[in-house]
Structure 1
Amino acid sequence: MTEGRARIAILGASGYTGAELVRLLARHPRVEIVALTADRKAGQSMADVFPQFAPLTLPKLITIDEVDWTGVDLAFCALPHGTTQQVIKRVFESAPHIKMVDLSADFRLRDPGVYEQWYGHPHQALELQQEAVYGVVELYRSDIRKARLVANPGCYTTTAILPVVPLIEAGAIEPDHIVIDAKSGVTGAGRSAKESLLYAEVTDGMHAYGVGSHRHMAELDQEYSKAAGRTVVPSFTPHLIPMTRGIYATIYVKTGAGVGAEGVHRVLADFYKGEPFVHVLPLGQVPQTRFVKGSNMAFIGVIKDRAPDRVIVISTTDNLVKGASGQAVQNMNLVLGFPETTGLEQIALFP
């Protein structure tokens, strides 16, 4: 361990979000990666799985059972949904000093009954769910600083929550008239081999999926309802598009009397003034995925619709950075008391 550095483990390092964590943390000045797990690839080097890491000196991939938790300060869980609850429960039982940032959906929903409804099985760590903090930094910063367990939000939800929650809280829009048309790059589906994600199946086309039933709806319901102080059920439809990275959410809202696009823009610009990773564009300017690719930024645009009481809000993030691993590092920085932007100052990769 390098003096003064936090010791970090990444569980599930062989997936896209795990690799993105390695990319971001490898040059983070305040941490040292001391453990990387990938059960099916245990024994291999990280460079065997992701050759871009060949120049780096990194720990060998091992199984979770082989991790020496006494030498870990914080762990990222980049494991599949439905597996993390038991893993984190076991880790906390043996090493309660550890902090956790979970990138799965296992602790995002505060109501265990809602979790069971959407994920088809009872929650396996109810006592931990009670202490988990939902990790949208811009909304829950003070709670995250004190957390032992942070539930990192989904990519779609991060991209749709950032522009909408401040508008609901300000009373600038009508909560019952929110329509979210969202698109994701293929990495949002993970690295597992799936026929539907083959090049020939995805390229030169676009399709909706999870129509009327996508699990991220539960997170949107939760956060929008909390902001409104009553039940809010938005319309949300995700689409898969033939690009590697990016989330692009076109959100249609109805404003209150006299608010209009100018009022919506004013609320968002004021709310995010000074925020390092959320940038509200000038009124009428449309964001593009290419201008956030590889960065931890969210770009938000506000555009007038033809009807004076309708406004189009467009939000975009990189699904692997602000939508996953970058936000997870942002959460880690808060939990460990580091400056929030540390290791995340990269400008987007363009062209």
Structure 2
Amino acid sequence: MGDSERIPVGIIGASGYGGVQLVRLLADHPKLELVYVGGESSAGKAFSDLYPHLGHYTKLVIEPIDLEEIGNRCRVVFLSLPNGLACDMAPALLAKGCKVLDLSADYRFSNLDTYETWYGRQRTDRDIAETAVYGLPELYRDRIAEAQLVGCPGCYPTASLLALSPLLKQGLVVPESAIIDAKSGTSGGGRQAKTNLLLAEADQSLGAYNVGRHRHTPEIEEVCSDLAGHEVLIQFTPHLIPMVRGILATVYATLRDPGLVRDDLITIYQAFYRSSPWVKILPSGTYPQTKWACGTNLCYIGIEVDPRTDRVIVMSAIDNLMKGQAGQAIQCLNLMMGWEETLGLPQLSFYP
């Protein structure tokens, strides 16, 4: 496939960490070509003014957001924007025939009342939102393949749901007993200047935040409820850890059958993810580390059973900017285009 046959792609909101990851991944994708980067505050600047290390790769200039123009030039558009903006743009882009992948929360919820409650934004695009598919390929691969609009999951939900899904889908645990204890690197907070993300604040320190009220909670609960077949509430506590990339989610849940041992669960997980090339189930006694996933679209999962408490402990490690954001969006697009879902995505980290 020559350059002239590549699919033209645009990114609205390319100046953040999610956007620059997409630019980086598109550079290596054999069937996609980045033709447009758009933004409000940085319009008119060369993309390399924001990210000088890419100056030798791209001469693109950040353009104002003109949906008509974008729809004419692009077949695929990534919306890498703060919550509450994509829902104003996606309808016009879909009307122009574009495939749209939203990296914010706007199209993650099948129940928009939940979105409005947690994100405080009234919605006028309910008909469009009903067509959106939740972009977790390991659960909704077939639906993503047919979709025009995908709401890409948050980074915490990706790590948490990949750890929990086999347990809930197979009815192996008491759903209400599930507790997610997760840690994220500082890049999860975005590129905007924030006091709590300053090196002097975040380094040499570890703390929880948004306890009992993190916005990823209802997103996790909606998918868990879908898997379990009834409404499920989940206890989710996020922590900020002094590193740039990575999420480690440790999930605890009470087993329905206390006779299950670790190797039973490893076999169940291997079967559940047998056609999921990006999920790696680790051997007995091996627990994942974020560094293993860094710079890749992989999710590493380790499993343990505590027979004393009849609990299963599942550990899940991803790169929050890759499988937790831009990499997963490309994975979804590969499915939407009928390509291999591994196409153009890195599978090996640089280690250490």
Counterpart mapping for 1:276-315 below 5 A: 276-305=277-306, 307=308, 309-315=310-316
Report the counterpart of residue 248 of structure 1 in structure 2.
248
1:338 maps to which residue?
339
2-structure distance, mates of 1:272, 1:156: 19
User: Which residue identity does 1:11 align to in structure 2?
Assistant: I
Question: How far apart, in 1, do the equivalents of 2:154 and 2:58 lie?
Answer: 30
Is the CA contact 1:33–1:58 (under 8 Å) kept in the aligned structure 2? Answer: no
Residues 124 and 283 of structure 1: CA distance in aligned 2, closer, same or farther (over 3 Å): farther
Q: Which amino acid aligns with 2:88?
A: Q
Query: For residues 309 and 134 of structure 1, what CA distance do their matches in structure 2 show?
Result: 32
Matched residue type, 1:179: I
Q: Which amino acid aligns with 2:312?
A: V
Task: Provide the rounded CA distance (Å) in 1 between the counterparts of 2:160 and 2:253.
Answer: 12
Distance in 2 separating the partners of 1:219 and 1:270 = 25
- Paired with 1:158 and 1:51, the residues of 2 have a C-alpha distance of 31
For residues 219 and 52 of structure 2, what CA distance do their matches in structure 1 show? 35
1:115-164, Cα deviation, whole Å (9 max, x unpaired): 11111122231111100000000111111111000000000000000121
Measured against aligned partners, the alpha-carbon deviations of 1:168-212 in whole angstroms (never above 9, x if no partner) come to 111111111101000000010111111121111111101111100
| Mapped partners of 1:214, 1:234: distance in 2 | 11
Separation of aligned partners in 1, 2:52 and 2:148: 33
| Residues 322-331 or 42-51, more deviating | 42-51
Find the counterpart in structure 2 of residue 8 from structure 1: 9
Give yes or no for contact 1:172–1:264 (8 Å, CA) kept in 2. Answer: no
Task: State the match for 1:219 in structure 2.
Answer: 219
In structure 2, what is the equivalent of residue 60 of structure 1?
61
Q: Which residue number in structure 1 is paired with residue 198 of structure 2?
A: 198
Write the distance in 2 (CA, Å) between the matches of 1:226 and 1:8: 32
- Which range moved further: 185-194 or 166-175? 166-175
8 A Cα contact 1:79 1:103, kept in partner: yes
Figure out how many residues of one structure are paired with residues of the other and give that number: 349
Tell me what 2:29 maps to. Answer: 28
Q: CA deviation at 1:308?
A: 5.4
Distance 1:124 1:260, change over 3 A: farther
Q: Aligned equivalents of 2:30 and 2:298: distance in 1?
A: 20
Ranges in structure 1 where 5+ consecutive residues have no aligned partner: none
CA distance in 2, matches of 1:115, 1:283: 39
Q: How far, CA to CA, are the matches of 2:11 and 2:302 in structure 1?
A: 34
Q: Which amino acid in the other structure matches residue 224 of structure 1?
A: C
CA contact (8 A) 1:260 1:309 kept: no
Is 1:347 aligned with 2:348? Answer: yes
Q: Among residues 71, 91, 94, which one is paired with 1:92 in the alignment? A: 94
The answer as to whether partners of 1:185 and 1:247 remain within 8 angstroms in 2 is yes
Deviations 1:23-47 (A, max 9, x none): 0001211011010012111111111
Which residues of 2 match residues 33-44 of structure 1 at below 5 A? Answer: 33-44=34-45
Say whether the 8 Å CA contact 1:179–1:251 is kept in structure 2.
Answer: yes
**Matches of 2:205 and 2:53, distance apart in 1:** 29
CA contact (8 A) 1:184 1:239 kept: yes
CA distance in 2, matches of 1:166, 1:149: 26
TM-score by length of 2: 0.96
CA RMSD after TM alignment? 1.4
Paired AA for residue 143 in structure 2 = D
Amino acid corresponding to residue 27 of structure 1 in structure 2: D
Residue in 2 that maps onto 1:76:
78
Supply the distance in 2 between the matched residues of 1:142 and 1:338 (Cα, whole angstroms).
13
Q: Report the TM-score when normalising by structure 1.
A: 0.96
1:63-212 correspondence to structure 2 within 5 Å:
63-65=64-66, 67-93=69-95, 95=96, 97-212=97-212
Structure 1 residue runs of 4 or more that deviate by more than 4 Å after TM superposition: none
Gaps of 5+ in 2: none
User: What is the CA distance between 1:317 and its match in structure 2?
Assistant: 0.3
Code of the residue aligned with 2:39 in structure 1: it is A
Contact 2:12–2:37 (8 Å) recurs in 1: yes
Paired amino acid for 2:311 = R
Assess if the C-alpha contact under 8 Å between 1:74 and 1:98 holds in 2: yes
Q: Secondary structure at the match of 1:153?
A: coil
What is the CA-CA distance between 1:263 and the residue it aligns to?
2.8
Check the 8 A contact 1:172/1:263 in 2, yes or no.
Answer: no
Q: What is the distance in 1 between the residues matched to 2:46 and 2:339?
A: 29
Q: What secondary structure sits across from 1:173 in the alignment?
A: coil
Distance (whole Å) between structure 2 residues aligned to residue 114 and residue 35 of structure 1? 33
Report the secondary structure of 1:26's partner residue: helix
Q: Report how far residue 91 of structure 1 moved.
A: 2.6
Provide the identity percentage: 41
Residue of structure 2 in register with 1:236 after alignment: 236
Structure 1 contact 251–313 (Cα < 8 Å) conserved: yes
The answer to whether the 8 A contact 2:47-2:58 is kept is no
CA distance in 1, matches of 2:235, 2:266: 22
Which stretch of structure 1 is more off in the superposition, 332-341 or 301-310? 301-310
Distance 1:269 1:335 in 2: 25
Aligned match of 2:270: 269
Q: Distance in 2 between matches of 1:47 and 1:191?
A: 16
Shift of 1:110: 0.6
